[in-house]
Amino acid sequence: MNLVAKAVLAAVLALGVGAGGVAYMNSSADTEAAKDGTLGLAIKSANGAHAFRVESAKTEAEQARGLMFRTDLKPDRGMLFWPYPATGGKPVEANFWMKNTPSSLDIIYIRSDGTIARIAENAVPFSEVPIPSGEPVGAVLELMGGRAAELGIAEGDLVTWDKAAK
């Protein structure tokens, strides 16, 4: 495990709650490591904490593109869609699809309190079928397909990330 991953895991213990009740990680090491444009994200599951480096899709254009056309996703990488600009950052019922996305993804819908509401596992590449959150969410995380099951990540698990990334 590299130093960044260790810092992210250690930061799970330093939880804070920001505007709207979203849980965040607070770690100066994580903020420093974000020089590559990514941010640290951790998921605390029944079998431990799992660290990721994620790209942040913050604008409507970034969120519309997501991971379309990408084939280079690594097991410890992903994309976080947060906040939703069109709603002023308020929770919204989200629908994702896989149009122009050649790699299978796990789409993880995250409530405003940081808990996982739903996991759409192994979303089918290039599908235009909407994949709904099922309830209002504050963020959505995309990971390599099958990763959630591989790590034992489940609905109700806690997701945290660096609030400075907003």
Q: What is the DSSP string of 27-51?
A: -HHHHHHGGGSEEEEEEEETTEEEE
Tell whether omega for the bond before 83 is within 30 degrees of 0, i.e. cis.
yes
Per-residue pLDDT reduced to its tens digit, 98-148: 999 999 999 999 999 999 999 999 999 999 999 999 999 999 999 999 999
Domains of the chain: 3-165 (2.60.120.1140)
Comparing 165 with 60, the larger pLDDT belongs to 60
Per-residue pLDDT reduced to its tens digit, 61-97: 666 666 665 778 889 999 898 876 667 778 999 999 9
Q: Is 113 left (phi over 0), alpha (psi -120 to 50) or beta?
A: alpha
Helices assigned H by DSSP within 50-157: 60-65, 147-151
Q: pLDDT confidence of 165, banded at 50, 70, 90?
A: low
